[in-house]
């Protein structure tokens, strides 16, 4: 072996030895690494448990108290008026509380089989159930057992917490679990189950399983068949979804799930289960419920207000049927009762037909509180269509302040005396001519006069000057959502809107330009004792100059056109009429209307009233010219008189609106007018195209409309009807309720009929496009 070979050999041995030593050292290092990871993981896990336990203990320490009386109490929700008096409680049936001995064993077994199979084994919280529910939700093999809450936890939730989204927090879940363990320490399993069965909501205004047995089957609990027991046991998970009256298919599926759960839990045999699932869902089901019908009848007076309040509760995340809330509302019960009496009797307004309907909303213009609401008259059922909130009927000329003149003052700085032109007009791109209610063209006039007389053509031309973007933006700030691209020329004299929306929008004129979203609930007291208060923040909708000038012009609508029908001396008020006419090919008399409106306000109240028929195309379902078309106005007048003269509000403010610093008072054409202070605007000259005697140049509070009212006739027509003037011999009906001057002739101005070509009408309107 050469010297070089020996050297290489030594180097190789040396390298091998080094490698061998390195290899021997790697093993312990790896072990140390995994040991360290395990120690760290264990430490973190322990810290997590400690932290989780600490957090749980912290949440548990702040859990609300749960009393014996609360556990035995109901989970019904109460609605209270503005004085704190209860006017509605969820639940149409008198709640019957079952004693523990009254509950048959098989019902207890049915409930636990479907809701909490390990009920008699856990101590209020069931970790295995939580894990099982998670797996079942993933695999879809749970027979409806998706919930992780035990029956004890559900009892706690029904007693203390709400279903509001705000309550679905880690804190609430921790408190619910803690309270469940405390309940388990104090009560036996059968006592807990009895409390749950007496409290749970069973649908159709029914609380408790004993009440449900009588409601659905007319039986006591121990008289129920197994399929009936299964139906009762399955209802609490979704009372409306499994309602055997409205959703028999869903009810059948749920009942059969309970039966199969009872089979799997060894409560019944497979043979019995197979037989029970074949029983029709309606076998033994009661068809009538007299007590429910009585409760619904008692709720008719506040029907619409109840409906709107419950809707608002649900929007806030609550379940009124289950959460046991005390809801303080803004309802003024005196105003509500008078509104109901006006709509449902002939004492204040003479109604031509029981089929004629009303939608009415009263708001406080200074904060958005809804004081009263009527959703219909002569109702056979409750909680049906709320016509006060329907947005499928055209507003007619009540749109003019919102779509035309309001934006004109806001964006173009038009003064109240700005010249507008009432001359022949044809809708662009059509041969459809626009007419006013009297089929006359009055030529140049002031904006105030055009609004007071409800001239259609000046309103349309104003809308064109304003533009779609400005009009849509103005509406949007008033809570009426519409795309600029969806507005068409005919919207100048009519938009689809509700009385609730108009009341809120007009309120912004009266309060100086602030929009308040109408709301029904002032506070909610939850079962836990938490009280949540509600009041929408007002948003600037327009300049103070716009608000005042539109209000002032709408005062002229009343003083110049309707002084004979509403009290103009007792208090200051402003408002606007609206009438929607039929197309000329409709089989109705000349001057007939499908919808009439009046929206008016004082400093203390805003009232918006719609009248019409649900099916205006049905023969005879039209509002004839004359007194029929003043029903909305007279309803407004009767109710506003009551509110302002001590009946509804003890502190009603009937004073006139104060001129803001942003507005300058001027004298034009012999009258007091107003303009935006410091603003520039274009004003065409006022060339009189009618006799000067019809437009007085002397200072007076009456417009040409009032001067002409004794010699002209009020003929309301659709856009293509031919004028047929005739003497007005019709007298206003006698009104014992306080309307003044009922023996005078009907007013001659201000009832501008919407004259809308079908191709130009907004898509959702039923005014003319279907006629």
What average pLDDT does this structure show over 682-688?
A: 73
Determine if residue 143 is left, alpha or beta; phi over 0 gives left, psi from -120 to 50 gives alpha, anything else beta. left
Phi, psi of 53 (to 5 degrees): -65, -40
Asked whether residue 28 carries a pLDDT value surpassing 90, the answer given is no
Per-domain boundaries in the chain = 69-292, 396-495+514-595+655-760
Q: How many CB atoms lie within 10 A of CB 361?
A: 31
Cβ–Cβ under 8 Å, residues 666 and 673: yes
pLDDT of residue 725: 27
Cβ–Cβ under 8 Å, residues 386 and 394: no
Provide the annotated active-site residues. Answer: 115, 397
| Higher pLDDT pick, 476 / 25 | 476
Give which of 300, 356, 372, 309 is closest to 639, Cα–Cα: 372
From CA 575, how far away is CA 591, in angstroms rounded?
23
- pLDDT tens digits along 589-625: 988 999 999 999 999 999 999 999 999 999 999 999 8
pLDDT band per the 50, 70, 90 thresholds, residue 147: low
Asked whether residue 226 carries a pLDDT value surpassing 60, the answer given is yes
Asked whether residue 241 carries a pLDDT value surpassing 90, the answer given is yes
Phi, psi of 22 (to 5 degrees): -60, -40
pLDDT of residue 290: 79
Give the architecture (CATH level 2) of 69-292: Orthogonal Bundle (1.10)
What average pLDDT does this structure show over 685-694?
A: 47
Residue 140 makes CB contacts below 8 A (sequence gap 6+) with none
What average pLDDT does this structure show over 372-399?
A: 92
- Strand-pair partners of 327: 79, 524
Whether this prediction's pTM lies above 0.85 is answered by no
Radius of gyration (C-alpha) of the chain in whole angstroms: 36
Asked whether residue 163 carries a pLDDT value surpassing 50, the answer given is yes
What average pLDDT does this structure show over 136-146?
A: 47
pLDDT of residue 765: 31
* Farthest CA pair distance, the chain: 145
CATH class of 396-495+514-595+655-760: alpha beta
pLDDT band per the 50, 70, 90 thresholds, residue 708: very low
């Amino acid at each position: 072996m050469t010297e070089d070979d020996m050297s290489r050999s030594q180097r190789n041995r040396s390298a091998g030895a080094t490698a061998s030593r390195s290899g021997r050292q790697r093993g312990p290092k790896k072990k140390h690494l995994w040991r360290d990871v395990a120690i760290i993981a264990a430490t973190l896990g322990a810290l997590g448990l400690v932290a989780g336990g600490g957090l749980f203990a912290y949440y548990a320490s702040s859990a609300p108290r749960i009393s014996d009386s609360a556990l035995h109490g109901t989970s019904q929700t109460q609605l209270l008026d503005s004085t704190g008096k209860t006017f509605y409680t969820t639940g149409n049936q008198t709640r019957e509380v079952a004693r523990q001995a009254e509950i048959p064993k098989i019902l207890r077994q049915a409930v636990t089989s479907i809701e909490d199979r390990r009920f008699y084994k856990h101590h209020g919280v069931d970790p295995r159930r939580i894990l099982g529910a998670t797996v079942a939700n993933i695999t879809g093999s749970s027979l409806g057992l998706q919930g992780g809450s035990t029956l004890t936890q559900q009892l706690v939730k029904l007693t203390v917490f709400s279903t509001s989204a705000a309550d679905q927090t880690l804190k609430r879940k921790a408190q619910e679990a803690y309270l469940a363990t405390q309940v388990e320490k104090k009560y036996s399993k059968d006592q807990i189950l009895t409390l749950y069965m007496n409290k749970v909501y069973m649908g159709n205004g029914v609380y408790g399983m004993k009440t449900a047995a009588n409601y659905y089957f007319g039986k006591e609990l121990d008289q129920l068949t197994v399929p009936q027991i299964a139906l009762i046991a399955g209802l609490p998970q979704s009372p409306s979804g499994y309602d055997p009256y409205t959703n028999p298919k869903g009810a059948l599926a749920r009942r059969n799930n309970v039966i199969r759960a009872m089979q799997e839990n060894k409560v019944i045999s497979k043979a019995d289960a197979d037989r029970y699932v074949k029983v029709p869902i309606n076998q033994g089901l009661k068809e009538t419920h007299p007590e429910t019908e009585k409760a619904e009848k008692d709720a008719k007076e506040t029907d619409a207000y109840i409906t709107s309040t419950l809707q608002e509760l649900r929007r806030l995340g609550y379940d009124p049927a289950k959460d046991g809330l005390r809801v303080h509302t803004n309802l003024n019960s005196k105003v509500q009762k008078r509104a109901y009496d006006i709509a449902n009797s002939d004492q204040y307004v003479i109604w031509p037909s029981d089929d004629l309907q009303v939608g009415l909303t009263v708001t406080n213009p200074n904060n958005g509180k809804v004081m009263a609401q009527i959703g219909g008259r002569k109702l056979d059922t409750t909680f049906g269509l709320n016509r006060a909130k329907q947005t499928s009927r055209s507003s007619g000329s009540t749109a003019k302040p919102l779509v035309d003149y309001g934006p004109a003052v806001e964006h173009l700085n038009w003064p109240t005396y700005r010249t507008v032109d009432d001359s022949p007009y044809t809708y662009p791109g059509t041969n459809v001519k626009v007419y006013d209610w009297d089929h006359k063209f009055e030529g140049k006039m002031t904006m105030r006069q055009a609004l007071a007389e409800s001239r259609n053509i000046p309103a349309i031309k104003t809308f064109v000057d304003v533009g779609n973007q400005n009009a849509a933006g103005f509406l949007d700030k008033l809570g009426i959502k519409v795309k600029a691209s969806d507005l068409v020329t005919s919207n100048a004299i009519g938009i689809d809107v509700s009385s609730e929306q108009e009341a809120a929008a007009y309120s912004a004129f009266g309060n100086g330009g602030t929009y308040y979203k109408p709301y029904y609930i002032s506070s909610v007291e939850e079962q836990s004792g938490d009280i949540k208060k509600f009041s929408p923040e007002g948003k600037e909708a327009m300049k103070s100059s716009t608000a005042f000038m539109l209000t002032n012009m709408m005062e002229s609508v009343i003083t110049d056109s309707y002084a004979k029908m509403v009290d103009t001396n007792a208090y200051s008020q402003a408002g606007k009429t609206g009438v929607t006419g039929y197309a000329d090919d409709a089989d109705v008399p000349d001057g007939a209307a499908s919808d009439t409106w009046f929206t008016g306000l004082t400093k203390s109240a805003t009232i918006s009233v719609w009248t019409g028929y649900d099916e205006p195309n049905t023969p005879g379902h039209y509002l004839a010219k004359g007194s029929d078309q003043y029903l909305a106005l007279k309803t407004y007048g009767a109710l506003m008189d009551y509110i302002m003269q001590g009946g509804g509000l003890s502190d009603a403010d009937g004073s006139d609106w104060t001129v803001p610093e942003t507005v300058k008072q001027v004298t034009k054409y012999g009258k007091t007018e107003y303009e935006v202070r410091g603003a520039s605007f274009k004003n065409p000259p006022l060339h009189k195209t009618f006799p000067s005697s019809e437009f007085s140049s002397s200072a007076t509070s009456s417009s040409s409309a009032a001067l002409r009212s004794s010699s002209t006739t009020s003929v309301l027509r659709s856009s293509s009807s031919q004028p047929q003037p005739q003497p007005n011999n019709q007298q206003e009906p006698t009104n014992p309720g306080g309307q003044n001057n009922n023996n005078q002739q009907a007013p001659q101005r201000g009832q501008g009929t919407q004259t809308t070509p079908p191709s130009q009408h907004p898509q959702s309107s039923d005014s003319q496009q279907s006629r």
